[in-house]
Homo-oligomer: A and B are copies of this chain.
Amino acid sequence: MAVQFINGPVVERRAKTNVARNGSRGVKPRAKNGEAAAKPISFGPLAAWIGFNLRMAQETAFQAFSRRSQEVGESPGRFATLTLIARNPGISQTELSQAAGRDKSSLTPVVEDLVRRGMVERARTRDDRRTYRLNLTTAGKKTLTQLTRCARRHERNLDAVIGPRDRKRFIQILKKIAAEIE
Please list the residues of chain A having a beta carbon within 8 angstroms of any beta carbon in chain B.
1-10, 15, 18-19, 21-22, 25-27, 29, 38-39, 41-46, 48-51, 53-62, 64-65, 76-77, 79-80, 83-84, 86-88, 91, 94-95, 97-105, 148, 151, 154-155, 157-159, 161-162, 166-167, 169-171, 173-182
- A38 near B95 (CB under 8 angstroms)? yes
Cβ–Cβ < 8 Å partners of A26 in chain B: 179
Q: Which residue of B lies closest to A21 (CB)?
A: B98
Cβ–Cβ < 8 Å partners of A179 in chain B: 25-26, 60
Q: Which of B21, B61, B166 contacts A169 (CB 8 A)?
A: B166
A40 to B33 Cα, complex, angstroms: 59
22 interchain pairs (CB within 8 A)?
Answer: A2-B99, A6-B76, A18-B104, A19-B94, A27-B99, A29-B98, A39-B95, A41-B87, A42-B87, A43-B84, A46-B83, A48-B171, A50-B61, A51-B61, A51-B65, A54-B61, A54-B174, A56-B175, A59-B178, A60-B179, A161-B180, A170-B170
Q: Which residue of B lies closest to A178 (CB)?
A: B56
A169 to B58 Cα, complex, angstroms: 17
A43/B151 contact (C-beta < 8 A), A158-B50, A161-B176 known: no
**Which 5 A-B pairs rank lowest in CB-CB distance, beginning with the nearest?**
A58-B58, A53-B174, A6-B80, A57-B177, A2-B101
Give me 12 other A-B pairs in contact (C-beta within 8 A), A3-B99, A25-B178, A50-B158 excluded: A6-B77, A38-B95, A41-B95, A41-B98, A44-B87, A49-B151, A51-B158, A54-B158, A55-B58, A58-B58, A61-B181, A64-B182
